Amino acid sequence: MKNAILITGGSGFIGSNFIHHMRRTHPQLELINLDILSYSGNPDNLKALKDDSHYRFVQGDIADGALVKALLEQNRVVSVVHFAAESHVDRSILEAGAFVQTNVVGTHVLLENARQYWVETLSRDSSFRFVHISTDEIYGTLGDDGFFSEESPFRPNSPYAATKAAADLLVRAYFETYRLPTLIARPSNNYGPYQFPEKFIPLMITNLMEDSPLPIYGRGINVRDWIFVGDACRAVDLIMHQGVPGTAYNVGGETEKRNIDVAQELLAMFSKDESCLSFVEDRPGHDLRYALNNRKIKDELGWKPTVPFLEGIEQTVAWYKANEWWWKPLKERLTSESRGFWTKS
């Protein structure tokens, strides 16, 4: 395999959608998916590519420097797109150490091996790109108005968000210190096919399909900016190919909704009423509101979200209805873990 893109965490939710996007839009590119297959990494997300000669799966840890070095050198990797992360806030509250190891240490290992490869093998080829997928959660929380820009200070309020902020700073430092051509995408809350069923929207959908209560934190007033995963994948593709090295880009869906509003829209789609709602104790450090200013990516790269929330949520519901084989075993496994996540949103 030559002139390949190394995609970390490609068996997860956004990573697998990105791989499908790249196979549709850039069929000539070779794609290598490096994924450790932790609890949320699912080979079934990419089952359709099992016999695709332009796709290769490698099971391994991004913190394994020898493996990362070999994959870069043996495949003439021209870009790294780094999705791999521990990402569930509730889990980070209970097990922060795993988040530090993957999100901080793992990102450093990738950066350092990419830097050495870029200098020693590619001879500082200016077309090489290292794209880090971050999150709007690094900015912390907003009040009732205003938006986060790329220049907003980092004020993370959960161990997950703190480790992603640390990774962002490492990526920035590798550009400023070594001139490694890094870029950062900071998307808002993604939803769509293949999302692990402990996350808010797929949990609501699958619980409705199972006639189970919908757990809502607090009073359900926390606001998130929702983006359909296909729009986010288009943005990452553009950032990789056209973004300016050293730059971070917000990728917001421009669709702010309270958790209770999302739940009510889903109730209506399933012809159910609010008796299905179950309000539970709020989690510690729960950010009130996220909202992103998209001006930079719109002005510089011409990107904007194209899938309205209602259209995207209808597509998502249809996908989960058509793919019970995919999510039912995952929910059964999570329930057997008895970790308490099913009382959380």
Catalytic residues: 136-137, 160
Distances in whole angstroms, Cα of residue 27 to Cα of each of 8, 19, 21, 52, 244? 19, 11, 10, 10, 24
CA dist 53 and 210 (Å) reads 38
User: Which 8-state DSSP code applies to residue 243?
Assistant: P
The answer to whether 83 and 9 are in contact (CB under 8 A) is yes
Residues 38, 9 contacting (CB under 8 angstroms): no
Taking a C-beta distance cutoff of 8 angstroms, is the pair 110, 66 a contact?
A: no
Question: Who's near 304: CB < 8 A, 6+ residues apart?
Answer: 254, 294, 298
Cα 306 to Cα 318: distance, rounded to the nearest angstrom: 19
**Helix, strand, or coil here: 210?**
coil
Please state, in angstroms and rounded to a whole number, the distance separating the CA atoms of residues 222 and 264.
14
Cα angle: 318, vertex 322, 325; to 5 degrees:
140
